[in-house]
Structures are given as structure tokens and as C-alpha cells.
Amino acid sequence: MDMLSPLGPLPELYERVRRVVPPAEWAMFAEDIEAILELKRTRNAVILAHNYQTPEIFHCVSDIVGDSLALAREAQHVEADVIVMAGVHFMAETAKLLNPSKTVLMPDMAAGCSLADSITAADVRLLRQRYPGVPVVTYVNTSAAVKAESDMCCTSGNAKRVVESLGTDSVIMIPDEYLAQNIANETGIRMITWAGHCEVHERFTPEEIRRLRAENPGVVVLAHPECPPEVVAEADYAGSTAGMSDYVASGKASRVVLITECSMSDNLAVQHPNVEFVRPCNLCPHMKRITLPALRHSLETMSHEVTIEPHLADRARRAVDRMLAI
Ligand code: 13P
Ligand code: SF4
């Protein structure tokens, strides 16, 4: 690190995150950031980062940021040799499905997801047997093996459009029970659900939202549709992380609370200094496994490479491609 400046040699990068990263923390980040920027050049790599990544990753080393849908869309067009996923395992698998000739790296293979862990391919085959002829829509927060058993994938950003595109009265929508219930409420389509939940969003309660409103008069409540329906019912808006980000960018609210993972508010606070963020939040332990040292190590050692068995990849890709075509 540059000893002449307490901010190290990257003052312009620090300027971006100054509002949410104290100088003492930056002093610990700067060396890894410099190393990662150099490694990206030598490895011809890009970093894709989900909206739940911490600000020093999201704003300082990432090339492409967004919600699950945006990361999937952008992964298709990456021309660099290497994609490093600053996100969780299913996101890396989706990137590999959509751009199979690239080396896709996961900095920590244990960065999973409670939704992806809730269901197996065998479970999907049993559901099909029990509800013959009903289409299966699978949230992208699943393994490639589960996607391979599905008709079509969806994300929280396009779930309504995906289920409506099928033109059926009933849909098997798995594994997020709350997302399925929230989409059923919006569309009137009968959902056959699975009891999977996001361990971050299932913890919010309607009482918490009411208390936040009482304590923060005028606050606009934005909730993720992985929250229970009774929480979504208390919100002013429900949408994917990109939907929440767009809502804040629209300038419709000067005081907001994001009912989602903690880092979302930090990342948006960097971009919208005039918006006040009330911050109750829940941490995703999987997303938080991705750190600057983990990203640096991943690029130094080219680990851990994500691969998908070819017989699964073709079928899983079909379900993701059908979603992207909507
Ligand atoms: P989106 O970014 O697609 O809204 O997904 C939220 C999430 O929990 C991803 O793990
Ligand atoms: Fe999975 Fe929830 Fe974490 Fe997203 S926030 S990775 S859905 S556990």
C-alpha cells in the first residue's frame, strides 16, 4: 500500500465508497483491491457481482453488477476468458450454462443458498408424477440438476411474466413457497408450491414493518418477493433487487427501507446520497463468504472452477434459455 496516503494508491476508488466505508476499513481493503485489479488484467477475467455483495466488492472491483436476471443475461455476452462470480454457487452455474466455453470461478464453493439446498432433481420428478401435465417453473436459485428437470426458469425479476407466458391455470412453481404465493396473489394462477424458503427473507415479519413505519414516518417500504406474503402485503412495493434499485433511482422516495439483504442499502447509498436509508436488514451468510481475499485467492490460483455434467447442462440450459427468450 502507498505509505504516503492513508487511503493508499486508489483515492479515486475510495471516493466512490467513502460514504459507507470508513478510512480504517479501506486501509485493510486497498492492497487486495490493487492485486485483484492487476490479476483481472493478467488473467483476462471479469468479476460479476450480485447486488448483495459488500460495497468494496460491488463498487471497486466488479465489472458487471445486478440482480440474478441481469447477471445471467450479461454472462452470455462476456468475451473475457474467465468469469469470477461474486455471488453464490447457483449464479456461477447459470453463468457456466450460458457461456460454457469460459472458465467460471467460484471464490468459495460453500457459498450456497437455502433455496437451492431445499430441493433435488428426484423431488421434481415426483412432483411431475403427482401433477401430470402441469408445467414446472423453477426459480434460478436451484442446482443445474433441478433446472434440468424443469420446463422453464424464472427469477424474481420476471416470475410474473414467465408464469403468465405459459397460459395455464396451474403451475408447479418451486422451490420458493413465498415467491410462488406472492406471484399467485398477483396473477390468480394456482400455484403448486414447495416448502423452500430464503433464510434471509423468511425472517422479516409484518410486525417489524409496522414498527418501522411507526418509528420512521413517511418511510417507503420496498420488499423482496422472497418475503412471506403477509410481509409483502405491508410493503409499498415488491420486486427483485433490480426492481428495488430502479424504484430508488426513480426519485419517488427520499426515505426508504429495503426489506432484503444488508448490503443492498450500502450499495444504493453510494449511488443516491440524497436518499435516507433506514437499515434493518438480515445478512446472507452465503453471499458474505465472498470477500476481497477470497476473490484475490480465486484469481491467483484459478480456483474453484465450476463445471456441469454435459448431460445435465443441455437440459438445464434449455430451461434458462426459455426464460431469457421471454
Ligand atoms: P434477485 O437479485 O434476482 O432479486 O435475487 C435475490 C436473491 O436472493 C439472490 O440470491
Ligand atoms: Fe439464497 Fe436468500 Fe442468500 Fe439469496 S439471500 S443466496 S436466496 S439464502
pLDDT at 281: 81
Work out which ligand 1 atom sits closest to the CA atom of 67: 2
- One digit per residue, the tens of pLDDT, for the chain of length 326 reads 444 455 565 889 999 999 999 999 999 999 999 999 999 999 999 999 999 999 999 999 999 999 999 999 999 999 999 999 999 999 999 999 999 999 999 999 999 999 999 999 999 999 999 999 999 999 999 999 999 999 999 999 999 999 999 999 999 999 999 999 999 999 999 999 999 999 999 999 999 999 999 999 999 999 999 999 999 999 999 999 999 999 999 999 999 999 999 999 999 999 999 999 999 889 999 999 999 999 999 999 999 999 999 999 999 999 999 999 99
Work out which ligand 2 atom sits closest to the CA atom of 52: 5
pLDDT at 10: 85
Distance CA 271, CA 245 (A): 10
pLDDT at 3: 42
Q: pTM above the 0.85 mark? A: yes
Ligand nearest to the CA of 262: 2
**Ligand 1 geometric centre to CA of 322 (Å):** 19
Take atom 1 of ligand 2 and give the residue whose Cα is closest.
113
Give the three cell numbers for residue 199.
433464510
Q: Which long-range contacts (CB under 8 A, 24 or more apart) does 9-14 make?
A: 9/34, 10/34, 10/60, 13/59, 13/60
How distant is the alpha carbon of residue 177 from its chain centre? 18
Distance CA 33, CA 206 (A): 40
**Ligand 2 geometric centre to CA of 197 (Å):** 9
**Ligand 1 geometric centre to CA of 212 (Å):** 23
Q: What angle do CA 147, 153, 158 make, to 5 degrees?
A: 160
CB 298 within 8 A of CB 106: yes
**Ligand 1 geometric centre to CA of 143 (Å):** 15
222: helix, strand or coil: strand
Work out which ligand 2 atom sits closest to the CA atom of 200: 2
Site to probe by mutation for ligand 1, drawn from 90, 158, 226, 232 as the one with most ligand atoms within 8 Å of Cβ, is 226
DSSP H helical ranges for the chain: 11-17, 23-43, 55-58, 68-76, 89-98, 121-130, 144-148, 159-166, 177-187, 206-215, 229-232, 241-249, 263-271, 292-301, 310-324
pLDDT at 1: 42
